[in-house]
Chains A and B, each alone.
Chain A
Amino acid sequence: MEATPKEQPKVQPKAPPEFFVSIGPHMRTEESTAKIMWTVNAALLPATLMSVYFFGLPAILVIIVSILAAVMAEAGMQKLLKKDVTVSDGSAFLTGLLIAMNVPANIPLYIPAVASVVAIAITKHLFGGLGYNVFNPALIGRAFILVSFAKPMTTYTQPVANIMAMDAKTMATPLSLLKEDGIAKLLEVYPNIYQDLLMGNRAGSLGETATIALLLGAVFLMIKRYITWHIPITFIATVGLLTWVFGGKSGLMTGDPLFHMMSGGLILGAFFMATDYVTGPSIRIAQVLFGVSCGALTVLIRLKGGYPEGVMFAILLMNCFAPLLDRGMRSRVFGKAAAKGVKK
């Protein structure tokens, strides 16, 4: 009496009165894929609003274009592959929103659109669609445009806090200032660096600037248990620890962990992208290893690599290892250990 896929449970025609017949359980949770995706979108709302506050109209345009491109790419690919169109589940919307969060405000609009199409059409659907992609789609989209359009992707502008401002002065991000010009220059440009990092009053990608707004959404997701501490907290803690030990100019243990933890895309990446269910490990211990590895790679890139920021490449590199980590850390089955030593 097995229900056929896509239409379980099915009606048994023969008996009056007619009843639904299916394999149990006959109760299901209220959660759904769509509910999870839209909740994550909602958790990004504070950061989205802050980006609009700081960067004005250009930010709004980037957000709209990124999301539209992602949703249209998803619908197009699903039509093309003759699958059900599932844009209402919010996952393409989320990819689009994350891409917007990851680009500078004054970028030509076709660039985030390209990122969205690469993310959805290639990274997601050519690998099998939702649930089957190996890499985080939004991050592949961003990596693609970072190497293809290096100049506009690294030209950041000063926050203006004026909705109508169309052009703003360019300004370097704190991390690139630190990398290229050193700490003195950083403090000259950003006299209140901690406060600016916390509130988002600094140059950077749209959604990665306001640490406090991102944390608000992250705490919400953790309370709802949509994400757990295993990946994001270990990720951020590892960055803090390693930058404290190795990040200082005057020897070991002289780094500034607080600066590093709040800079760049770390908070956004750790809470909203490294926690992507599909591209991260599922076993809890594997998730801790994943988080620590992401943190270590980020610091390696920030301190020794060619880019000022390493969160994106760190997560993408670790995405490859997620299935392997799961396999290595296979959960201990109830009674398996007890089974050795029992006479059969």
Chain B
Amino acid sequence: MEASSVKASATFSGGVHPAGNKELTSHKSTVSAAIPKRVVIPLSQHIGAPTKPLVVIGQEVKKGEKIGESGGFVSAPVHSSVSGKVTAIGNFPHILGMDMASIVIESDGKDEWVAGLKETKDYQMLSPDELKKMVSDAGIVGMGGATFPTHVKLSPPKEKPIDVVILNGAECEPYLTSDHRLMLEKPAEIIEGLKILMRILNVKKGYIGIEANKPDAVEAMKKAATGSPEIEVWPVQVKYPQGAEKMLIKAIANRTVPAGGLPMDIGVVVQNVGTAAAIYDAVRFGRPLIERYVTVTGRGVKDPKNFLARIGTTFAQLIEEAGGLTEDAAKVISGGPMMGMSQYTLEVPVIKGTSGILVLPKSEVSTKPYGPCIRCARCIDACPMMLQPSLIGLFIEKGHYEDAKDYNLMDCFECGSCTFVCPANRPMVQWVKRAKRELAKKKN
């Protein structure tokens, strides 16, 4: 397959085609962001129990030092991303829209690694359990945005054997190019990370799924996978939400994750390409997850860029390094425009799941009021889960949450395709979030 004309037939049914807008940053090599003078490291950067702080105010810490202890099995430790002194432990703005427990560290500028990081050249000789422990100790979580602790996904129950590992390089969110750049710049690390994953899970077959709009990444990954016949690089159709776990599995393995179930139910584990690279760093060099690729983009910043940024760097600093906000900057989003969360302050930090910072100018912010549903069925055609968002929306609008549940509300993973295509501008995702919360309240 030629790099210039990657064709891909693998996909799922439904989905939408928002404008990609990736040309703002896709050709720009990643640059290291300045070492922040001050980092804010939330104790909760993952799905699951928050970590417990291991440091006190005034304590000196080194880069890579563990500062938060895992709060349970479904949890992940956090590490300092700079060397310096702990200046505060308390509640600070978090991308989830509220203040959350965080550790603030002021950098001493020396950027010294903590002592005792263990390099392992012959890591392929380690046992799956030893490898898994390294992943767990490094605080690695799903870096595509879901931030589910990786070691949990690597510990399937015995009755659910895994036979396929898929790396997710689809990057179907418009604007974002951090995974794209990573695949171009660190393809060997990603392949090694995948091999470690396959060893941990004792799997013989690995796939890397990449949307066909990144032919150079497909080419780079194929080149890096030469000599590894157990790994296949798959271009997949350019369609949102191709990068959703269930949709990617459908496209590549042609397996359907059961409703309410997990990929492991059908023998599949999916990990983001960034997660694979982080796993390689952890296993080969003993380095915990303290930095990641972050795309700072949109027509609301003057000089969109891809950064390698420390966890805990504030949005304010990265936006400043991307030339600053434009005059008409109006909306700041953590993540992509489809599933990302809008922010009210630039003081929120980059966390392990922050793939991008998108700033939209006023002209691109929709403030149109919504109208009545005209039952055009565009949302039904768009829904990758084959739900009826129009009807679910009508139910929730009138407060009939139970009826919405009868129409499979719980199967919605809030990709936003329905809301994107709605000509009446109806906020279906917002309603779905509300209904899920109301139903959870009732249950308790």
Contacts and interface: CB of A to CB of B under 8 A. Distances in A.
Interface of A: 1-3, 5-9, 12, 14-15, 17, 19-29, 31-33, 35-36, 86, 89, 129-132, 277-278, 280, 282-284, 326, 330-339, 341-343
Contacts of B36: none
B177 to A, nearest CB: 16
Contacts, number: 193
Given A23-B430, A129-B372, 17 more contacts: A2-B430, A6-B370, A8-B370, A20-B342, A20-B365, A24-B333, A24-B419, A32-B368, A32-B423, A131-B373, A277-B377, A280-B375, A331-B388, A333-B385, A336-B411, A338-B266, A339-B259
A338 B256 contact: yes
B258 A26 contact: no
Nearest to B397: A5
A306 B423 CA distance: 41
Given A32-B423, A335-B246, A339-B261, A24 B342 contact: yes
Contacts of A31: 378, 421, 423
A1 B97 contact: yes
Interface in B378-402: 378, 380, 384-388, 390-391
Contacts of B341: 24
B246 to A, nearest CB: 7
A331 B246 CA distance: 18
A326 B344 CA distance: 41
A334 B330 CA distance: 37
Contacts of B423: 29, 31-33, 35-36
25 contacts: A2-B434, A19-B332, A20-B330, A24-B341, A25-B420, A26-B337, A26-B358, A28-B420, A29-B420, A29-B423, A31-B378, A32-B368, A32-B423, A129-B372, A278-B375, A280-B375, A282-B380, A282-B388, A283-B377, A331-B387, A334-B256, A335-B259, A335-B260, A336-B259, A338-B257
A333 B429 contact: no
B257 A333 contact: no
A326 B92 CA distance: 49
Contacts of B266: 338
Of B364, B366, B388, which is in contact with the most chain A CB atoms at under 10 Å from its CB? B366
Nearest to B384: A334
Contacts of B416: 24-25
Of A132, A280, A336, which is in contact with the most chain B CB atoms at under 10 Å from its CB? A336
Contacts of B261: 335, 338-339, 342
B367 interface: yes
A28 B332 CA distance: 16
A323 B433 CA distance: 26
Contact of B388 (A6, A21, A330): A330
Contact of A335 (B258, B333, B342, B434): B258
Nearest 6 pairs of A and B residues by beta carbon: A25-B416, A131-B372, A339-B258, A335-B259, A282-B377, A23-B430
A333 B367 contact: no
Given A9-B367, A19-B332, A282-B375, A27 B388 contact: no
Contacts of B407: 330
Contacts of A17: 325, 329
Contacts of B360: 26
B343 interface: yes
B42 to A, nearest CB: 18
A32 B345 contact: no
Contact of A32 (B257, B339, B343, B425): B425
A24 B339 contact: yes
Nearest to A282: B377
A277 B375 contact: yes
A146 B378 CA distance: 35
B194 interface: no
Contacts of B337: 24-27
Of B330, B338, B424, which is in contact with the most chain A CB atoms at under 10 Å from its CB? B424
Given A14-B344, A331-B386, A334-B386, A130 B430 contact: no
A6 to B, nearest CB: 5
Contacts of B374: 33, 36, 130-131, 277-278
B265 interface: yes
Contacts of A35: 423
A226 B52 CA distance: 55
A326 B358 CA distance: 39
A5 B333 contact: no
